[in-house]
Structure 1
Amino acid sequence: MNAPAVADTDDLSIEALATRTGVTVRNIRAYTTAGLLPPPRLRGRLGLYDDDHAQRLALIRELREQGFGIEAIRRIFGRAPASVWGDLVAVARSMSGSLFASETPVVVPAKAIAAKWKGQMTPALLARATKAGLMRELPDGQVQMLSPALGQVAEELAALGLPLEQVIGMQETMARTLRTVARHWLRTLADSLLAGDAIDAERTAQLLEKARPLATGAVQAAFPVILQQELDTLLRKAA
Protein backbone atom coordinates (compact mmCIF):
# COMPACT_ATOMS: atom_id res chain seq x y z
CA MET A 1 0.00 0.00 0.00
CA ASN A 2 1.22 3.51 -0.76
CA ALA A 3 0.76 6.54 1.47
CA PRO A 4 -2.77 8.01 1.47
CA ALA A 5 -3.38 9.88 -1.76
CA VAL A 6 -3.51 13.66 -1.61
CA ALA A 7 -3.93 15.92 -4.62
CA ASP A 8 -0.85 17.84 -5.78
CA THR A 9 -0.26 20.98 -3.77
CA ASP A 10 1.97 23.98 -4.29
CA ASP A 11 2.45 27.02 -2.09
CA LEU A 12 -0.42 26.31 0.28
CA SER A 13 -1.11 28.47 3.29
CA ILE A 14 -1.66 26.65 6.54
CA GLU A 15 -5.40 27.25 6.22
CA ALA A 16 -5.43 25.80 2.69
CA LEU A 17 -3.36 22.83 3.84
CA ALA A 18 -5.85 22.21 6.65
CA THR A 19 -8.74 22.29 4.18
CA ARG A 20 -6.95 19.99 1.73
CA THR A 21 -5.95 17.34 4.30
CA GLY A 22 -8.75 17.54 6.85
CA VAL A 23 -6.28 18.25 9.67
CA THR A 24 -6.93 21.31 11.78
CA VAL A 25 -4.60 24.30 11.75
CA ARG A 26 -3.98 23.74 15.44
CA ASN A 27 -2.87 20.14 14.87
CA ILE A 28 -0.68 21.11 11.91
CA ARG A 29 1.15 23.54 14.16
CA ALA A 30 1.35 20.95 16.92
CA TYR A 31 2.82 18.35 14.56
CA THR A 32 5.36 20.88 13.32
CA THR A 33 6.37 21.73 16.88
CA ALA A 34 6.65 18.01 17.67
CA GLY A 35 9.00 17.54 14.72
CA LEU A 36 6.62 15.32 12.73
CA LEU A 37 6.11 17.91 10.00
CA PRO A 38 8.91 20.02 8.46
CA PRO A 39 8.58 23.78 8.95
CA PRO A 40 6.94 25.67 6.07
CA ARG A 41 8.91 27.62 3.49
CA LEU A 42 8.76 31.31 4.30
CA ARG A 43 7.75 33.99 1.84
CA GLY A 44 8.17 37.09 3.89
CA ARG A 45 6.12 36.37 6.97
CA LEU A 46 3.85 33.88 5.22
CA GLY A 47 4.49 30.18 5.75
CA LEU A 48 3.91 28.06 2.63
CA TYR A 49 3.42 24.30 2.45
CA ASP A 50 3.81 21.95 -0.50
CA ASP A 51 2.92 18.44 -1.64
CA ASP A 52 5.51 16.81 0.64
CA HIS A 53 3.85 18.42 3.66
CA ALA A 54 0.42 17.26 2.52
CA GLN A 55 1.56 13.67 1.93
CA ARG A 56 3.32 13.43 5.29
CA LEU A 57 0.34 15.02 7.03
CA ALA A 58 -2.03 12.52 5.43
CA LEU A 59 0.15 9.70 6.72
CA ILE A 60 0.24 11.21 10.22
CA ARG A 61 -3.54 11.39 10.18
CA GLU A 62 -3.78 7.74 9.13
CA LEU A 63 -1.38 6.61 11.82
CA ARG A 64 -3.18 8.63 14.46
CA GLU A 65 -6.51 7.08 13.43
CA GLN A 66 -4.95 3.63 13.85
CA GLY A 67 -3.94 4.51 17.41
CA PHE A 68 -0.28 5.48 16.98
CA GLY A 69 1.00 8.03 19.49
CA ILE A 70 3.10 11.07 18.68
CA GLU A 71 6.31 9.49 19.96
CA ALA A 72 5.68 6.28 18.00
CA ILE A 73 5.12 8.25 14.79
CA ARG A 74 8.29 10.25 15.39
CA ARG A 75 10.26 7.04 15.78
CA ILE A 76 8.71 5.61 12.62
CA PHE A 77 9.64 8.69 10.61
CA GLY A 78 13.13 8.63 12.09
CA ARG A 79 13.87 4.95 11.52
CA ALA A 80 11.67 3.70 8.68
CA PRO A 81 12.37 4.67 5.08
CA ALA A 82 9.55 6.54 3.37
CA SER A 83 9.03 3.56 1.06
CA VAL A 84 7.56 1.45 3.90
CA TRP A 85 5.40 4.09 5.61
CA GLY A 86 2.34 3.07 3.64
CA ASP A 87 2.99 -0.59 4.39
CA LEU A 88 3.03 0.15 8.11
CA VAL A 89 -0.32 1.91 7.85
CA ALA A 90 -1.69 -1.13 6.00
CA VAL A 91 -0.42 -3.45 8.74
CA ALA A 92 -1.92 -1.27 11.46
CA ARG A 93 -5.26 -1.06 9.63
CA SER A 94 -5.46 -4.81 9.05
CA MET A 95 -4.59 -5.63 12.65
CA SER A 96 -6.78 -2.99 14.28
CA GLY A 97 -9.76 -4.49 16.05
CA SER A 98 -9.05 -8.02 14.88
CA LEU A 99 -5.63 -9.20 16.00
CA PHE A 100 -6.13 -10.04 19.66
CA ALA A 101 -9.89 -9.90 20.09
CA SER A 102 -11.09 -13.50 19.73
CA GLU A 103 -14.78 -13.06 20.55
CA THR A 104 -17.55 -11.42 18.59
CA PRO A 105 -19.21 -8.73 20.73
CA VAL A 106 -22.91 -9.18 21.45
CA VAL A 107 -25.41 -6.32 21.55
CA VAL A 108 -28.00 -6.61 24.32
CA PRO A 109 -30.92 -4.25 25.09
CA ALA A 110 -30.35 -2.34 28.33
CA LYS A 111 -33.75 -3.55 29.57
CA ALA A 112 -32.65 -7.16 29.10
CA ILE A 113 -29.58 -6.57 31.25
CA ALA A 114 -31.67 -4.91 33.93
CA ALA A 115 -34.11 -7.84 33.92
CA LYS A 116 -31.33 -10.42 34.00
CA TRP A 117 -29.73 -8.82 37.05
CA LYS A 118 -33.07 -8.19 38.77
CA GLY A 119 -32.44 -4.55 39.49
CA GLN A 120 -28.81 -4.94 40.59
CA MET A 121 -27.43 -3.37 37.40
CA THR A 122 -27.76 0.30 38.28
CA PRO A 123 -26.63 3.09 35.93
CA ALA A 124 -23.64 3.62 38.21
CA LEU A 125 -22.53 -0.02 37.97
CA LEU A 126 -23.05 -0.04 34.20
CA ALA A 127 -20.88 3.09 33.97
CA ARG A 128 -18.15 1.33 35.98
CA ALA A 129 -18.24 -1.72 33.71
CA THR A 130 -18.10 0.57 30.68
CA LYS A 131 -15.19 2.55 32.07
CA ALA A 132 -13.30 -0.68 32.72
CA GLY A 133 -13.67 -1.50 29.03
CA LEU A 134 -15.87 -4.57 29.53
CA MET A 135 -19.01 -3.11 28.00
CA ARG A 136 -19.87 -0.29 25.64
CA GLU A 137 -23.05 1.79 25.73
CA LEU A 138 -24.34 2.40 22.22
CA PRO A 139 -26.08 5.58 21.02
CA ASP A 140 -29.40 3.73 20.67
CA GLY A 141 -29.38 2.78 24.35
CA GLN A 142 -28.33 -0.83 23.87
CA VAL A 143 -25.22 -2.32 25.47
CA GLN A 144 -22.42 -4.08 23.62
CA MET A 145 -20.87 -6.92 25.59
CA LEU A 146 -17.27 -6.93 24.38
CA SER A 147 -16.67 -10.40 25.85
CA PRO A 148 -19.76 -12.59 26.08
CA ALA A 149 -17.66 -15.23 27.88
CA LEU A 150 -16.72 -12.71 30.56
CA GLY A 151 -20.39 -11.83 30.93
CA GLN A 152 -21.12 -15.51 31.48
CA VAL A 153 -18.45 -15.65 34.19
CA ALA A 154 -20.13 -12.71 35.90
CA GLU A 155 -23.48 -14.51 35.85
CA GLU A 156 -21.97 -17.66 37.33
CA LEU A 157 -20.26 -15.69 40.10
CA ALA A 158 -23.58 -14.03 40.88
CA ALA A 159 -25.24 -17.46 40.97
CA LEU A 160 -22.77 -18.37 43.71
CA GLY A 161 -24.15 -15.52 45.78
CA LEU A 162 -21.80 -12.65 45.02
CA PRO A 163 -23.55 -9.29 44.64
CA LEU A 164 -23.17 -7.71 41.20
CA GLU A 165 -21.22 -4.78 42.67
CA GLN A 166 -18.56 -7.17 43.97
CA VAL A 167 -18.46 -9.04 40.65
CA ILE A 168 -17.88 -5.80 38.75
CA GLY A 169 -15.26 -4.79 41.29
CA MET A 170 -13.40 -8.05 40.63
CA GLN A 171 -13.60 -7.47 36.88
CA GLU A 172 -12.41 -3.87 37.28
CA THR A 173 -9.32 -5.08 39.15
CA MET A 174 -8.65 -7.75 36.54
CA ALA A 175 -9.07 -5.31 33.65
CA ARG A 176 -6.80 -2.74 35.30
CA THR A 177 -4.07 -5.31 35.96
CA LEU A 178 -4.27 -6.92 32.52
CA ARG A 179 -4.25 -3.49 30.85
CA THR A 180 -0.91 -2.79 32.52
CA VAL A 181 0.44 -6.16 31.36
CA ALA A 182 -0.84 -5.57 27.81
CA ARG A 183 0.76 -2.13 27.59
CA HIS A 184 4.09 -3.54 28.71
CA TRP A 185 3.93 -6.39 26.19
CA LEU A 186 2.98 -4.10 23.30
CA ARG A 187 5.58 -1.48 24.23
CA THR A 188 8.26 -4.17 24.30
CA LEU A 189 7.16 -5.41 20.87
CA ALA A 190 7.13 -1.87 19.49
CA ASP A 191 10.60 -1.18 20.85
CA SER A 192 11.84 -4.36 19.18
CA LEU A 193 10.31 -3.40 15.86
CA LEU A 194 11.80 0.08 15.97
CA ALA A 195 15.23 -0.99 17.21
CA GLY A 196 16.87 -1.35 13.79
CA ASP A 197 17.82 1.14 11.13
CA ALA A 198 14.72 0.30 9.11
CA ILE A 199 11.35 -1.29 9.71
CA ASP A 200 10.42 -4.44 7.83
CA ALA A 201 6.64 -4.29 7.34
CA GLU A 202 6.40 -8.01 6.60
CA ARG A 203 8.33 -8.91 9.77
CA THR A 204 6.11 -6.51 11.72
CA ALA A 205 2.96 -8.31 10.57
CA GLN A 206 4.44 -11.74 11.32
CA LEU A 207 5.62 -10.74 14.78
CA LEU A 208 2.27 -9.26 15.75
CA GLU A 209 0.40 -12.27 14.42
CA LYS A 210 2.56 -14.68 16.43
CA ALA A 211 2.32 -12.46 19.50
CA ARG A 212 -1.40 -13.16 19.83
CA PRO A 213 -1.28 -16.80 21.01
CA LEU A 214 1.91 -16.13 22.99
CA ALA A 215 0.41 -13.22 24.93
CA THR A 216 -2.92 -14.87 25.69
CA GLY A 217 -1.20 -18.18 26.43
CA ALA A 218 1.15 -16.52 28.90
CA VAL A 219 -1.76 -15.03 30.85
CA GLN A 220 -3.63 -18.34 30.85
CA ALA A 221 -0.53 -20.17 32.05
CA ALA A 222 0.55 -17.67 34.69
CA PHE A 223 -2.78 -16.86 36.32
CA PRO A 224 -3.49 -20.32 37.83
CA VAL A 225 0.04 -20.41 39.29
CA ILE A 226 -0.30 -16.95 40.82
CA LEU A 227 -3.83 -17.68 42.01
CA GLN A 228 -2.62 -20.80 43.85
CA GLN A 229 0.31 -18.90 45.38
CA GLU A 230 -2.03 -16.18 46.64
CA LEU A 231 -4.43 -18.78 48.02
CA ASP A 232 -1.60 -20.49 49.88
CA THR A 233 -0.51 -17.13 51.31
CA LEU A 234 -4.08 -16.35 52.39
CA LEU A 235 -4.44 -19.73 54.11
CA ARG A 236 -1.15 -19.31 55.97
CA LYS A 237 -2.23 -15.90 57.25
CA ALA A 238 -5.58 -17.31 58.37
CA ALA A 239 -4.01 -20.24 60.22
Structure 2
Amino acid sequence: MNAAATPPASQAEQDLSVEGLAAHTGVTVRNIRAYTTAGLLPPPRLRGRLGLYGDEHVQRLGLIRELRDQGFGIEAIRRIFERAPASSWPDLVAVARSVSGSLFAEETPVVVSSEALAAKWNGQMTPALLARAVKAGLMRELPDGQVQMLSPALGQVAEQLAALGLPLEAAIGMQETMARTLRTVARHWLRTLADSLLGGDAIDPTRTAQLLEKARPLATGAVQAAFPVILQQELDTLLRKTA
Protein backbone atom coordinates (compact mmCIF):
# COMPACT_ATOMS: atom_id res chain seq x y z
CA MET A 1 0.00 0.00 0.00
CA ASN A 2 1.24 3.50 -0.79
CA ALA A 3 2.45 5.21 2.39
CA ALA A 4 0.70 8.42 1.39
CA ALA A 5 -2.62 6.58 1.39
CA THR A 6 -2.31 5.67 5.07
CA PRO A 7 -3.26 8.55 7.40
CA PRO A 8 -1.01 9.24 10.38
CA ALA A 9 -2.06 7.62 13.67
CA SER A 10 -2.98 10.99 15.15
CA GLN A 11 -5.23 11.75 12.17
CA ALA A 12 -6.89 8.33 12.41
CA GLU A 13 -7.56 8.87 16.10
CA GLN A 14 -9.31 12.15 15.33
CA ASP A 15 -11.73 10.63 12.83
CA LEU A 16 -14.77 9.83 14.97
CA SER A 17 -18.31 9.40 13.75
CA VAL A 18 -21.00 11.09 15.83
CA GLU A 19 -21.70 7.69 17.44
CA GLY A 20 -17.99 7.23 18.14
CA LEU A 21 -17.77 10.72 19.63
CA ALA A 22 -20.76 9.95 21.85
CA ALA A 23 -19.15 6.72 23.06
CA HIS A 24 -15.79 8.45 23.63
CA THR A 25 -17.16 11.41 25.59
CA GLY A 26 -20.29 10.03 27.25
CA VAL A 27 -22.41 12.75 25.64
CA THR A 28 -25.47 11.53 23.78
CA VAL A 29 -25.74 11.87 20.02
CA ARG A 30 -28.80 14.03 20.56
CA ASN A 31 -26.90 16.45 22.80
CA ILE A 32 -23.92 16.55 20.42
CA ARG A 33 -26.24 17.63 17.64
CA ALA A 34 -28.00 20.12 19.92
CA TYR A 35 -24.66 21.67 20.95
CA THR A 36 -23.67 21.91 17.29
CA THR A 37 -26.93 23.66 16.46
CA ALA A 38 -26.41 26.03 19.41
CA GLY A 39 -22.95 26.94 18.10
CA LEU A 40 -20.99 25.33 20.95
CA LEU A 41 -19.44 22.75 18.62
CA PRO A 42 -18.09 23.40 15.12
CA PRO A 43 -19.66 21.32 12.33
CA PRO A 44 -17.96 17.99 11.65
CA ARG A 45 -15.52 17.55 8.80
CA LEU A 46 -17.26 15.81 5.93
CA ARG A 47 -15.97 12.74 4.16
CA GLY A 48 -18.60 12.17 1.53
CA ARG A 49 -21.82 12.09 3.55
CA LEU A 50 -20.09 11.01 6.77
CA GLY A 51 -19.43 13.66 9.43
CA LEU A 52 -16.12 13.20 11.27
CA TYR A 53 -15.22 14.71 14.61
CA GLY A 54 -11.77 15.42 16.03
CA ASP A 55 -9.82 16.48 19.10
CA GLU A 56 -11.39 19.93 19.30
CA HIS A 57 -14.85 18.40 19.54
CA VAL A 58 -13.66 16.05 22.30
CA GLN A 59 -12.09 18.94 24.25
CA ARG A 60 -15.12 21.17 23.83
CA LEU A 61 -17.51 18.45 24.98
CA GLY A 62 -15.35 17.82 28.05
CA LEU A 63 -15.53 21.47 29.02
CA ILE A 64 -19.25 21.67 28.22
CA ARG A 65 -19.98 18.72 30.51
CA GLU A 66 -17.96 20.18 33.38
CA LEU A 67 -19.56 23.61 33.10
CA ARG A 68 -23.08 22.25 32.64
CA ASP A 69 -22.58 20.20 35.82
CA GLN A 70 -21.81 23.48 37.60
CA GLY A 71 -25.02 25.08 36.32
CA PHE A 72 -23.51 27.20 33.54
CA GLY A 73 -26.02 28.02 30.82
CA ILE A 74 -25.57 27.62 27.09
CA GLU A 75 -24.99 31.34 26.56
CA ALA A 76 -22.31 31.49 29.26
CA ILE A 77 -20.51 28.49 27.73
CA ARG A 78 -20.71 30.08 24.29
CA ARG A 79 -18.99 33.18 25.68
CA ILE A 80 -16.24 31.01 27.14
CA PHE A 81 -15.52 29.51 23.74
CA GLU A 82 -15.58 32.96 22.15
CA ARG A 83 -13.22 34.59 24.64
CA ALA A 84 -11.00 31.85 26.07
CA PRO A 85 -8.25 30.42 23.87
CA ALA A 86 -8.25 26.65 23.46
CA SER A 87 -4.96 26.48 25.37
CA SER A 88 -6.80 27.65 28.51
CA TRP A 89 -9.62 25.08 28.34
CA PRO A 90 -7.83 22.46 30.50
CA ASP A 91 -7.31 25.13 33.16
CA LEU A 92 -10.98 26.07 33.06
CA VAL A 93 -11.96 22.41 33.41
CA ALA A 94 -9.64 22.11 36.42
CA VAL A 95 -11.25 25.17 37.99
CA ALA A 96 -14.73 23.74 37.43
CA ARG A 97 -13.74 20.41 38.99
CA SER A 98 -12.12 22.05 42.00
CA VAL A 99 -15.27 24.02 42.73
CA SER A 100 -17.69 21.13 42.24
CA GLY A 101 -19.46 20.40 45.51
CA SER A 102 -16.89 22.35 47.52
CA LEU A 103 -17.89 26.02 47.42
CA PHE A 104 -19.02 25.79 51.02
CA ALA A 105 -16.60 23.05 52.13
CA GLU A 106 -14.04 23.99 54.74
CA GLU A 107 -13.79 20.79 56.81
CA THR A 108 -11.30 17.97 56.58
CA PRO A 109 -13.12 14.72 55.71
CA VAL A 110 -12.89 11.83 58.18
CA VAL A 111 -12.66 8.16 57.20
CA VAL A 112 -14.47 5.61 59.37
CA SER A 113 -15.25 1.93 58.99
CA SER A 114 -18.78 0.94 58.04
CA GLU A 115 -19.07 -0.87 61.38
CA ALA A 116 -18.06 2.25 63.33
CA LEU A 117 -20.50 4.30 61.29
CA ALA A 118 -23.38 1.95 62.09
CA ALA A 119 -22.43 1.93 65.77
CA LYS A 120 -22.75 5.73 65.93
CA TRP A 121 -26.53 5.47 65.50
CA ASN A 122 -27.18 2.23 67.36
CA GLY A 123 -27.33 0.17 64.18
CA GLN A 124 -29.75 2.50 62.39
CA MET A 125 -27.33 3.11 59.49
CA THR A 126 -28.56 0.60 56.93
CA PRO A 127 -27.01 0.15 53.45
CA ALA A 128 -30.05 1.93 51.99
CA LEU A 129 -29.60 4.97 54.24
CA LEU A 130 -25.87 5.03 53.53
CA ALA A 131 -26.64 5.00 49.80
CA ARG A 132 -28.93 8.00 50.27
CA ALA A 133 -26.26 9.89 52.20
CA VAL A 134 -23.72 9.09 49.47
CA LYS A 135 -26.10 10.21 46.72
CA ALA A 136 -26.73 13.48 48.56
CA GLY A 137 -22.99 14.12 48.55
CA LEU A 138 -22.60 13.92 52.32
CA MET A 139 -20.52 10.72 52.39
CA ARG A 140 -18.39 8.71 50.00
CA GLU A 141 -17.88 4.95 49.98
CA LEU A 142 -14.22 4.00 49.49
CA PRO A 143 -12.93 0.96 47.58
CA ASP A 144 -11.72 -0.68 50.81
CA GLY A 145 -15.22 -0.61 52.31
CA GLN A 146 -14.63 2.32 54.60
CA VAL A 147 -16.74 5.48 54.46
CA GLN A 148 -15.46 9.02 54.07
CA MET A 149 -17.59 11.56 55.94
CA LEU A 150 -17.17 14.73 53.90
CA SER A 151 -18.52 16.87 56.74
CA PRO A 152 -17.80 15.48 60.22
CA ALA A 153 -19.79 18.38 61.67
CA LEU A 154 -22.89 17.24 59.81
CA GLY A 155 -22.32 13.76 61.18
CA GLN A 156 -22.25 15.17 64.69
CA VAL A 157 -25.49 17.05 64.03
CA ALA A 158 -27.13 13.80 62.93
CA GLU A 159 -25.90 12.10 66.11
CA GLN A 160 -27.33 14.89 68.25
CA LEU A 161 -30.67 14.70 66.43
CA ALA A 162 -30.70 10.93 67.02
CA ALA A 163 -30.03 11.55 70.71
CA LEU A 164 -33.14 13.74 70.77
CA GLY A 165 -35.14 10.80 69.46
CA LEU A 166 -35.22 11.65 65.77
CA PRO A 167 -34.83 8.51 63.61
CA LEU A 168 -31.69 8.48 61.50
CA GLU A 169 -33.81 8.16 58.35
CA ALA A 170 -35.53 11.45 59.18
CA ALA A 171 -32.17 13.11 59.95
CA ILE A 172 -30.76 12.00 56.60
CA GLY A 173 -33.93 13.22 54.89
CA MET A 174 -33.38 16.65 56.43
CA GLN A 175 -29.77 16.66 55.28
CA GLU A 176 -30.79 15.59 51.77
CA THR A 177 -33.09 18.61 51.57
CA MET A 178 -30.37 20.89 52.89
CA ALA A 179 -27.82 19.50 50.41
CA ARG A 180 -30.18 20.07 47.48
CA THR A 181 -30.91 23.62 48.62
CA LEU A 182 -27.27 24.54 49.20
CA ARG A 183 -26.27 23.02 45.88
CA THR A 184 -28.81 25.29 44.20
CA VAL A 185 -27.40 28.27 46.11
CA ALA A 186 -23.84 27.32 45.16
CA ARG A 187 -24.71 27.02 41.49
CA HIS A 188 -26.47 30.38 41.55
CA TRP A 189 -23.34 31.95 43.05
CA LEU A 190 -21.24 30.31 40.36
CA ARG A 191 -23.52 31.48 37.56
CA THR A 192 -23.42 35.03 38.92
CA LEU A 193 -19.64 34.91 39.15
CA ALA A 194 -19.44 33.45 35.67
CA ASP A 195 -21.44 36.33 34.25
CA SER A 196 -18.98 38.73 35.88
CA LEU A 197 -15.93 36.80 34.71
CA LEU A 198 -17.26 36.55 31.17
CA GLY A 199 -18.04 40.23 30.90
CA GLY A 200 -14.65 41.22 29.54
CA ASP A 201 -12.91 40.59 26.26
CA ALA A 202 -10.82 37.65 27.49
CA ILE A 203 -10.96 34.99 30.19
CA ASP A 204 -8.03 34.47 32.53
CA PRO A 205 -8.19 31.00 34.18
CA THR A 206 -5.82 32.12 36.96
CA ARG A 207 -8.02 35.08 37.84
CA THR A 208 -11.07 32.82 37.65
CA ALA A 209 -9.57 30.40 40.18
CA GLN A 210 -8.56 33.25 42.51
CA LEU A 211 -12.00 34.84 42.41
CA LEU A 212 -13.77 31.56 43.11
CA GLU A 213 -11.41 30.84 45.99
CA LYS A 214 -12.18 34.24 47.54
CA ALA A 215 -15.89 33.69 46.96
CA ARG A 216 -15.94 30.53 49.10
CA PRO A 217 -15.74 32.21 52.55
CA LEU A 218 -18.10 34.96 51.39
CA ALA A 219 -20.68 32.40 50.31
CA THR A 220 -20.27 30.49 53.57
CA GLY A 221 -20.70 33.67 55.58
CA ALA A 222 -23.81 34.63 53.64
CA VAL A 223 -25.47 31.28 54.34
CA GLN A 224 -24.49 31.39 58.01
CA ALA A 225 -25.87 34.92 58.34
CA ALA A 226 -29.12 34.36 56.47
CA PHE A 227 -30.19 30.95 57.76
CA PRO A 228 -30.87 31.94 61.42
CA VAL A 229 -33.03 34.84 60.24
CA ILE A 230 -35.01 32.66 57.84
CA LEU A 231 -35.31 29.86 60.42
CA GLN A 232 -36.77 32.28 62.98
CA GLN A 233 -39.22 33.66 60.41
CA GLU A 234 -40.39 30.15 59.53
CA LEU A 235 -40.68 29.24 63.22
CA ASP A 236 -42.83 32.33 63.85
CA THR A 237 -45.06 31.35 60.92
CA LEU A 238 -45.41 27.80 62.22
CA LEU A 239 -46.32 29.01 65.72
CA ARG A 240 -48.95 31.37 64.34
CA LYS A 241 -50.54 28.52 62.38
CA THR A 242 -50.64 26.23 65.43
CA ALA A 243 -51.80 28.90 67.88
TM class by smaller structure? 0.7 to 0.9
Between the aligned partners of 1:113 and 1:47, the Cα distance in structure 2 is 53
Tell me which of 89, 106, 116 is aligned to 2:110.
106
Q: CA deviation at 1:206?
A: 2.8
Tell me which of 169, 175, 179 is aligned to 1:175.
179
Q: Which residue of 1 aligns with 2:6?
A: none
Q: Which amino acid aligns with 1:42?
A: L
Contact 2:63/2:93 (8 A) holds in 1: yes
Q: Which residue of 2 aligns with 1:60?
A: 60
Q: Which residue of 2 aligns with 1:153?
A: 157
Deviates more, 1:144-153 or 1:183-192: 183-192
Structure 1 stretches of 5 or more lacking a match?
1-6
CA deviations 1:71-91 (Å, max 9, x no partner) are 354432134344644543454
CA deviations 1:60-101 (Å, max 9, x no partner) are 355257x22283544321343446445434544565676642
Q: Which amino acid aligns with 2:147?
A: V
State the Cα RMSD in Å. 3.4
Structure 2 stretches of 5 or more lacking a match?
1-8
- Spell out the pairing of 1:74-85 with structure 2 (5 A cutoff): 74-82=78-86, 84-85=88-89
Q: Which residue of 2 aligns with 1:4?
A: none
TM-score, normalising length: structure 2: 0.74
Q: Which residue of 1 aligns with 2:5?
A: none
Aligned length: 225
Between the aligned partners of 1:26 and 1:93, the Cα distance in structure 2 is 18
CA deviations 1:118-160 (Å, max 9, x no partner) are 1211222222222222112233322221111110111112222
Q: Which amino acid aligns with 2:63?
A: L
Q: Which amino acid aligns with 1:34?
A: Y
Give the 3-state SS of the residue equivalent to 1:156 in structure 2: helix
Give the 3-state SS of the residue equivalent to 1:23 in structure 2: helix
Q: Which amino acid aligns with 2:118?
A: A
Between the aligned partners of 1:99 and 1:224, the Cα distance in structure 2 is 20
Q: Which residue of 2 aligns with 1:39?
A: 43
Q: Which residue of 2 aligns with 1:13?
A: 15
Change over 3 Å in CA distance of 1:192–1:228 after alignment to 2: same
Q: Which amino acid aligns with 2:205?
A: A
